[in-house]
Structure 1
């Protein structure tokens, strides 16, 4: 994680440099030997789950409002969130759709803007464990976006949901065009992820007793 942050902070675009030169996130899976055919990108998942495009003005306002109330994401002022909005895709998704599937490779993360999403994990012995039912403002899938690993759990809509989606390609665009903003986002995601992993780890330990 420190390596990513260092690269983000040092990636200041120089005169004449192509903004598309930054491909840290889009090439991460390949560098780990993950076959591109195994990736589940948002464009394909959106079709599978019947996602419909959400007006950017609505999605952006929801994102600003929710992150302003989050003790971590509130470190991004309104101007920063407004600059970040153009890198997100906004969509509405019907109930009972698998936005993220356990053990797949996915190069996008999701911010829940409205509705409820269940987070479940199938244990090695076959038991399905509900880890959480998320609330608006919660972030899902950021671990795979940051470390290019397999999805830890499945995320399924329980109600009609509105979401903001950030892909690896969009993250690279942000890193190239606004490196300080990208560095701030990665740092805040890392903090939130660390806290969530501690909670999940404690939950799994209790379940095994």
Structure 2
């Protein structure tokens, strides 16, 4: 009897529950045209091209769809966990988003970027929970797919292989952005150096 129980006995209830939740998520995603579009956009060159179709569908199963009216702030610069921001990452599914930031030397916000469908925002705070570095405002009515930190933790616990691929893709994306920023800083430093040389040439030495 012990032999038959080993072969045909009840499954681990935890495994059965995870399989049931996975089936429910898959059914929900497949029944939603917006969710399927979100999975397709998540794999775009603007987002996380490293994900496979199956991995993107799995990730979208852990995301929530949100609507934002024109003029509504989706992310606010300076917000963090202490201000009610749970560090979510958002994928633009429909609409347009304006990214603005206020620097130390400016009082008015500076437009940094304009994002369209397939663009990601907020991935840094998803990873480290730190304050937002910019404000993202809906320029039109916007639909987003949002992955918050609680859902990310659930993804890690239930789908570790997919979670690892997601985090690796996000890390590569952030690394690429950092390298682009380094290049811009180098160009800015060269420009400042050239301007200083020109000033030194044009302005006579007062000593």
Matches within 5 A, 1:144-163: 144-163=125-144
- State the structure with more CA Rg: 2
8 A Cα contact 2:99 2:137, kept in partner = yes
- How many pairs were matched up? 159
Asked if 1:89 is matched to 2:64, the reply is: yes
Q: Runs ≥4 in structure 1, deviation > 6 angstroms? A: 15-18
Counterpart pick for 1:99 among 71, 74, 77:
74
Question: CA contact under 8 A between 1:108 and 1:145: conserved in structure 2?
Answer: yes
Q: 1:120, 1:155 within 8 Å by CA — same for their partners in 2?
A: yes
For 1:3, the equivalent position in structure 2 comes to none
Residue 117 of structure 1 is matched in structure 2 by: 97
How big is the shift at 1:181?
A: 0.6
CA offsets 1:1-21 (integer angstroms, 9 cap, x no match) = xxxxxxxxxxxxxx7879xxx
Q: Is 1:179 matched with 2:179?
A: no
Structure 1 position 65, deviation (Å): 2.2
Quote the Cα distance in structure 1 between the aligned partners of 2:91 and 2:47.
Answer: 14
- Considering only aligned residues, what root-mean-square deviation do their CA atoms show, in Å? 2.8
Kindly state the Cα deviation for residue 83 of structure 1 after the two structures are TM-superposed.
1.6
* Structure whose residues are more often helix by fraction: 2
1:153 CA displacement: 0.5
Q: CA deviation at 1:195?
A: 2.2
Q: TM-score normalised to the size of structure 2?
A: 0.67
Please say if residues 47 and 119 of structure 2, whose CA atoms lie closer than 8 Å, have aligned partners that are also in contact: no
Output aligned runs, 1:24-103, within 5 Å: 57-70=32-45, 73-103=48-78
Query: Match for 2:118 among 121, 133, 137?
Result: 137
Residue 178 of structure 1 and its aligned partner are, at CA, apart by: 0.5
> CA, structure 1 residues 56+148, in 2 after alignment: closer, same or farther (shift >3 Å)?
farther
For 1:193, which of 152, 174, 188 is the aligned residue?
Answer: 174
Contact 1:131 1:200 in 2 (8 A): no
CA displacement, residues 111-153 of structure 1 (integer Å, 9 cap, x when unaligned): 1111110111001122421110012111111101101211100
Query: How far 1:62 sits from its partner (Å)?
Result: 1.4
- Residue 49 of structure 2 aligns to a residue whose secondary structure is helix
Contact 1:175/1:182 (8 A) holds in 2: yes
